[in-house]
Amino acid sequence: MAHDHNHSHSNNKKILLISFLIITSYMLIEAVGGVMTKSLALLSDAGHMLSDSISLAIALIAFKLGEKAVTYNKTFGYKRFEVLAALLNGATLIVIALIIFYESIERFINPPEVATVGMLIISSIGLAVNILVAWIMMRGSDTEENLNMRGAYLHVLGDMLGSIGAIAAALLIMFFGWGWADPLASVIVAALVLRSGYFVAKKAIHVLMEGTPADINIDEAVQAISKIEGVKGIHDVHAWTITSGLHAFSCHIVVDEQLTVAESNKIAHEIEHLLQHKGIHHVTLQVEPTNHTHDEEILCTLEAIPAHDHHHHHH
């Protein structure tokens, strides 16, 4: 499994780098084009591409950092940085969307004259560039599971819609002289950008809050563990995500106090095996005799114990 994780990891990196180079170079062309043709749709698309290339750069740095070795100082290494990167990505998407909304208000009131042929050509090339990058990403990297890749991919998709919007606006202005089509296209793009930014940020915040991974059902896991022979009870369960695709789980299990260490170890192994099938690869178990002193709650209530109060330690 680790091998698989690393394989998709190096693929993700390679693809991010290629995408970054393509998008950054085109973004510069589009920004210049937007200024020359006075098109907000083009500029908003370029702004979006800028956020794209920033987001791809952040995602790349995150993968690079995530590979850094585990140290005593950071026992999970820098894996979490990917999640922070995803949060940053989501946040930049939201900010860009708000800026575009703000800009378009004034454009609706007095639509500028837009040099449409230039706008059409530039936005068409933009569309082609985005389709290319989206295709490269879909084919070669993990846009489903990896939150970091997903954030970057959503940026590119939103971008693609931006180009389509700019093309549509250019055509409407050319054929019907509807100057407001330009700010309208940019508003539609902004709405889509806002939506994807919100979802990526929300997921990242869930991970940072140590939320239970979406694909793990605590009830099911607890049921399955209590069915294992020799397990008399289970409590103090925690499940969380370290970084995309890497989940952790800890709990206390109660066994008969007559069991030898080897026997309770065998039970622990069975539990680890069971959880691995559920996609959890980092399991910590605490084995306790039936006469343990904790309460039996499945979820523990975490109380901060004052530092001087060590002798009253209870759960």
Q: Which two tokens stand for residue 98?
A: 């708000």
Torsion angle of the four alpha carbons 14, 17, 23, 29, in this order, in degrees rounded to the nearest 10: -130
Compute and round to an integer the Cα radius of gyration of the chain.
26
Report the pLDDT value the prediction gives residue 141, as an integer from 0 to 100: 67
CATH architecture of 2-208: Up-down Bundle (1.20)
Report the pLDDT value the prediction gives residue 249, as an integer from 0 to 100: 92
Report the pLDDT value the prediction gives residue 229, as an integer from 0 to 100: 86
Report the pLDDT value the prediction gives residue 1, as an integer from 0 to 100: 43
For residue 103, the tally of other CB atoms under 10 A from its CB is 17
Report the pLDDT value the prediction gives residue 152, as an integer from 0 to 100: 77
- What is the mean pLDDT for each group of 10 consecutive residues in the chain (315 residues)? 58 83 83 78 74 78 74 72 82 85 83 76 86 85 72 79 84 85 83 83 87 85 88 88 83 88 89 88 88 71 61 50
Report the pLDDT value the prediction gives residue 7, as an integer from 0 to 100: 62
Boundaries of every domain in the chain: 2-208, 218-312
Sequence-distant (6+) residues with CB within 8 A of 44 are 100, 103, 104, 162, 186, 189, 190
| Domain range 218-312, CATH class | alpha beta
Report the pLDDT value the prediction gives residue 8, as an integer from 0 to 100: 67
Calpha distance 77→74 (Å, rounded) = 5
What one-letter code names the amino acid at 190? A
Calpha distance 101→237 (Å, rounded) = 45
